[in-house]
Structure 1
Amino acid sequence: MSSFLRDLSLSAATAGFVAVLVGFTSSVAIVFSAATALGATPAQTASWMWALGLGMGLCSALPSLWLKKPVMVAWSTPGAAVLATAAASGGFTMEQAVGAFVLCALLITLAGATGAFERVMDRIPMPIASALLAGVLARFGLDAFVALRSDFGLVLTMLLVYLVGRRAWPRYAVPVVLAAGTLFATLQGRLQLQGVSLALTVPQWVTPEFTLGAAVSLALPLFVVTMASQNLPGVAAIRAAGYTMPISRIITLTGAATLLLAPFGAFALNLSAITAAICMGREAHEDPARRYTAAVSCGAIYVVIGLFGAAVAGVLTAFPRELVVAIAGLALLGSIGGGLAAALKDEHHREAALITFLVTLSGLSLWGIGSAFWGVVAGTLALIVQGVRRP
């Protein structure tokens, strides 16, 4: 712990908070929609936050402290979307859904324990992986500037402060931008903190019920989109940042944690890409060996969210949407640029990498599987075609 406190910095702690702010506010509504579609009571919805918060927090903080590298775990946002859609049309009970969570967790654990997923990732060329990451993150960069249309004053202020900050105090540019945006929103009366009350969340146990319908309609799609749309770009983020980690063990850990917390509402935990890029970039710390403190800070905040789910959720969602979008885009600029530079550096892979980037950025979704997977498929297909020699 003493080494962690010695390595911790304001920029790393802020990166951890920004990662939570971006990850939570951008997708918590989808998680609530999934819980509602399954007929969850308010107490069960709070229990979902408890389980997901503890799962993400402990699976991020503990491995990061152990490895001294930034391990970032999040909930499966596309998985929550799949649950919301399938539950609304399939009429599944909460017990059947929890049974599907358990089956999905077993499949994730198996994919990690056997090393099958890591072997697949090892066959993807680095330019393709970098283009995949850049495509996933670029949408946030675009949204930051699109937000100028809905709140010109706030976003322009944050942009100007960022440009000055990058010139004057580059390590602390993002914390200063966050402070400036919060102050601007406060002066406008835009922070909605009314009704926030501090209370511990009480976890609610739901006994799983296993049915063939839930296994086919919930568990399998949840597993596929979690691995293809979340874990795949998550590994790309790790490798693009230059870190070497025991991927299979971390995947196994996320599966085991999901298995333990599934009866309380943890539907799927996985590697993060977007929030990982925030904590793994230069904005977190100039020294890559000290960026793990950003992941630990992020994990600690997630644990607090789990313990005080309703109160912390109210605080985080009180920030204006434009502030969250702008801070996300600005914090990810370095990772987007680094991903594009690595993707386009090798002329032999350049066109395939560009195809990967564009397909991923397009947001294409087929059969419930997101654009991250199809970007890799398109880029790999381009590599194969270009690699065939003409007679």
Structure 2
Amino acid sequence: MMRGLLQPVSTGIVAAVTGFASSFVLVIAGLRAVGASEAQAASGLLMLCLLVGLTCIVLPWYFRMPISFAWSTPGAALLVAAGASTDDFGATAGAFMVCGALIVLCGLWPALGRAITSIPKPLAGAMLAGILFPICLAPITASIEQPLLAIPVILVWLVLFRLAPRWAVPAAMVTAAIGLGLTSGTDWLTTPVASPALIFTGPVFDPLVIVSLGLPLFIVTMAGQNVPGFAVLSTFGYHPPPRPILVGSGIATVLGAVFGAHSINLAAITAALMASPDAHPDTAKRWIATVSSGFTYLVLGLAAGLATALVAASPPVVIIAVAGLAFLGALVTSITSALEDPQHRISAIVTLLVTVSGVSIGGIGSAFWGLVIGGAMMLWLGEGRTKARRTKARRVS
């Protein structure tokens, strides 16, 4: 019995540690970019760990399926890119709540979910690529500005990406922490923020922040996390009902928003690990891996304060560089998705360029305008009608 449990339990622990280590720096950097203090950022990371842990325990246990959850890593990247949108963390919390409410609405009203997931793939991919592009440039920038810290991080990542890809980013983060310790000492270990605590932030519903941050966060979370998450589960033969998953993760996002948590959603990358034979040869026992990851996230939440203190004590460009290394694969995937169809390449490139520009019009950020202008370009060029005509022609033939 114990031998049968060892494989899924250990797989869940590895998945949780990998998911946490590969993206917590981006979460903290993103929350800080949209107005959070160090203590509020630590609270947000702690709340995310608690919510991910609970959802990974409750729903898989109930459905006996490896339904795994995570925080929205593309959403955290969006926060970094949308830093100019607001420095009022109360307004940010309000935008997070709106995002969560829309996810709940997708679960209760399937037509909305279909509308969001029907955003043309090239535009969604281009918007995500535009969000990730500046972050993926950070390793280059850091190598020039902080070579003693950045170059060892990049070299460690390169070696492990060849030998053990799953551990490349966590090892890069450990290398960054060692470098910080050698150059700056260990005073960050004893800062007040190193002790995790939940801090309530009263939400403020600012229409401009909701449009420039809340709506793009909702779209990125649905298109970049929930849809791939369902696809991964389907690939391994699992077909859970969407409603409880979307409603549950949406409610978790609403509740977590006032403590700094930005978004909870289905996992995609780590989901493939826990839903595959790596977790257990028996498909009926793989849910144990997800529950194991949930308990691991609850424990990892205790490190949220130290993680925030480390990020706060590090040169920002080095921290973003680690995140940039983690997102190179996602950038390649999103650019490939955006440019796959030759008919949509101009619209996709326009979407990417507007998003990368960081332009803010009327207080609304570039991710929103990238989608709007890219969609307008697609309509102007008649790309949607061209695709419809090709589909009709194939049906006739």
What is the TM-score normalised by the length of structure 1? 0.69
Give the number of aligned pairs.
359
- In the alignment, the residues of structure 1 paired with residue 158 and residue 41 of structure 2 have an alpha-carbon distance, to the nearest angstrom, of 41
- Alpha-carbon contact 1:16-1:295 (below 8 Å) kept: no
In the TM superposition, 1:289-368 aligns within 5 A as 303=298, 310=305, 313-368=308-363
Is 2:274 aligned against 1:270? no
User: 1:53-93, CA deviations, whole angstroms, 9 ceiling, x for partnerless residues?
Assistant: 534553466557765355323588489986744969xxxxx
- Which shifted more, 72-81 or 192-201? 72-81
Q: Which amino acid aligns with 2:218?
A: N
Pair 106,60 (structure 1): closer, same or farther in 2 beyond 3 Å:
same
Partner deviation per Cα, 1:186-231 (whole Å, 9 max, x = no partner): 2223554242467574777x9x8xxxxx9xx726556544542212
Q: Structure 1's 168 and 315: CA in aligned 2 closer, same or farther, altered over 3 A? A: closer
Aligned pairs for 1:17-166 (under 5 A) are 17-28=21-32, 30-33=34-37, 54-55=50-51, 57-59=53-55, 68-74=66-72, 77=79, 84-85=87-88, 109-166=104-161
Larger mean CA deviation between 138-147 and 61-70 belongs to: 61-70
Of 231, 234, 240 in structure 1, the residue corresponding to residue 221 of structure 2 is 234
Q: Which residue of 2 aligns with 1:7?
A: 11
- CA distance in 2 between counterparts of 1:63 and 1:162 reads 35
Other-structure match for 1:371: 366
Question: How far does residue 326 in structure 1 lie from its aligned partner after superposition?
Answer: 1.7
SS in 2 for 1:317: helix
* Counterpart residue type for residue 236 of structure 1: A
- Residue identity in the other structure for 1:218: F
Equivalent residues of 2:99, 2:214 under 8 A apart? no
Q: Specify whether residues 125 and 303 from structure 1 end up closer, same or farther in structure 2 by C-alpha distance, changes over 3 A only.
A: same
Shift of 1:111: 4.9
Q: Identify the residue that residue 94 of structure 1 maps to in structure 2.
A: none
Does the CA contact (< 8 Å) of 1:130 and 1:240 recur in 2?
no
Question: For residues 140 and 125 of structure 2, what CA distance do their matches in structure 1 show?
Answer: 23
Identity %: 28
- What's the Cα RMSD here? 4.7
CA distance in structure 2 between the aligned counterparts of 1:139 and 1:236, rounded to whole angstroms: 20
CA distance in 2, matches of 1:202, 1:271: 17
Inter-CA distance 133–63: structure 2 relative to 1 (3 Å threshold): farther
Worse-matched range after superposition: 76-85 or 172-181: 76-85
Maintained 8 Å contact 2:28/2:41: no
Residue 330 of structure 1: CA displacement? Answer: 0.8
The offset of 1:143, in angstroms, is: 2.0
1:337 is displaced (CA, Å) by: 0.9
In structure 1, what residue type is equivalent to 2:36? F
Secondary structure of 1:366's partner?
A: coil
Paired residues of 1:355 and 1:375 also in contact (CA < 8 A):
yes
Q: Deviations over 1:356-380 (max 9, x none)?
A: 2222222233344332222222222
Query: For each residue in 1:310-350, what CA deviation from the matched residue of structure 2 results, as whole angstroms up to 9, or x when unmatched?
Result: 55543553444343212111111111112112221211122
1:118–1:248 CA contact under 8 A, matched in 2: no
For structure 1, which segment, 59-68 or 316-325, has the greater mean C-alpha deviation from structure 2 after superposition?
59-68
Structure 1 equivalent of residue 389 of structure 2: none
Residues 149 and 180 of structure 2 are in contact (CA less than 8 Å); yes or no, is this contact kept in structure 1?
yes
- Secondary structure (helix, strand or coil) at the match of 2:263 reads strand
Q: Secondary structure at the match of 1:72?
A: strand
What CA distance in whole angstroms lies between the structure 1 residues aligned with 2:381 and 2:277? 36
Q: How does 1:187-202 map to 2 (within 5 A)?
A: 187-189=182-184, 191-196=186-191, 201=197
Task: Give 1:252 shift.
Answer: 2.6
Q: Secondary structure at the match of 2:381?
A: helix
CA distance in 1, matches of 2:228, 2:49: 26
Matched, 1:180 2:175: yes
Per mean C-alpha deviation after superposition, the further-off stretch among 315-324 and 121-130 is 315-324
Note if contact 2:156-2:172 (Cα within 8 Å) is conserved in structure 1.
Answer: yes
Letter in 1 for 2:221: G
Contact 1:60 1:298 in 2 (8 A): yes
Taking a change above 3 Å as real, the CA distance of residues 63 and 147 of structure 1, as seen in their structure-2 partners, is: farther
In the alignment, which of 252, 264, 286 is matched to residue 247 of structure 2? 252
CA distance in 2, matches of 1:261, 1:45: 12
Aligned residues of 1:108 and 1:223 also touching (Cα < 8 A): no
- 8 Å Cα contact 2:43-2:260 kept in structure 1: no
Question: Structure 1, unaligned stretches of length 5 or more?
Answer: 36-41, 89-96, 209-213
Helix, strand or coil at the partner of 2:148: helix
Deviates more, 1:110-119 or 1:7-16: 7-16
Larger deviation: 364-373 or 303-312?
303-312
Q: Does the 8 Å contact 2:108/2:243 carry over to 1?
A: yes
Cα deviation, 1:165-202, whole Å, max 9, x if unaligned, reads 33333343323323333333322235542424675747
